[in-house]
Amino acid sequence: MAKKTLAYQLFRVGKLPRTVRTAIEPERIRILEEGIRVIITCRNFRNSTQFFSWKKRSFSGAIAVTSERLVAYAFSQRILNLPFRHLCFRKMEAGKKENNCFYIRINAAHINEKMSGILEYCFITPDAGNLDNVITNVFNFPPRSPLPER
């Protein structure tokens, strides 16, 4: 069992919303981690109202992997909802870093054409190796081509 954040232990902040959970249960949930630390890093990020050369934020959140999609929440806000058949899923870089971190790096333009820059989501959980294994092996994730660090 993953170490839960203090906000989750006290207030259940970082729990997958009930409506989302009931919606993804028919898709056969393979992995569900709630109340884990989620770190979002933006590099050279730009959209219509914001620009960050570098910004890092930490949240209490959740990640779920079903047989059809990957869903992630920070607090109660959806940060990722990627069907495995979606084109941007094939263009992202994902894997396990040291210190129990499962990361996803993606070019923001692949999510929304009005955005640019690199988004990195890091999910701190002891189950990071299992997340990496499920996404890379079970779903035949394509060979990884690293995104530029800029």
Q: Is residue 143 part of a domain?
A: no
Please state whether 54 falls in left (phi above 0), alpha (psi between -120 and 50) or beta: beta
Q: Is residue 108 part of a domain?
A: yes
Q: Model-level pTM greater than 0.75? A: yes
pLDDT in tens, 27-85: 999 999 999 999 999 999 999 999 999 999 999 999 999 989 999 999 989 999 988 88
Name the domain count of the chain: 1
Q: Is residue 61 part of a domain?
A: yes
Q: Residue 130: give the domain boundaries.
A: 6-138
CATH number at residue 64: 2.30.29
Q: Is residue 146 part of a domain?
A: no
Q: Is residue 149 part of a domain?
A: no
The answer for residues whose C-beta is within 8 angstroms of residue 90's C-beta and 6 or more apart is 142
Q: Is residue 144 part of a domain?
A: no
Q: Is residue 91 part of a domain?
A: yes
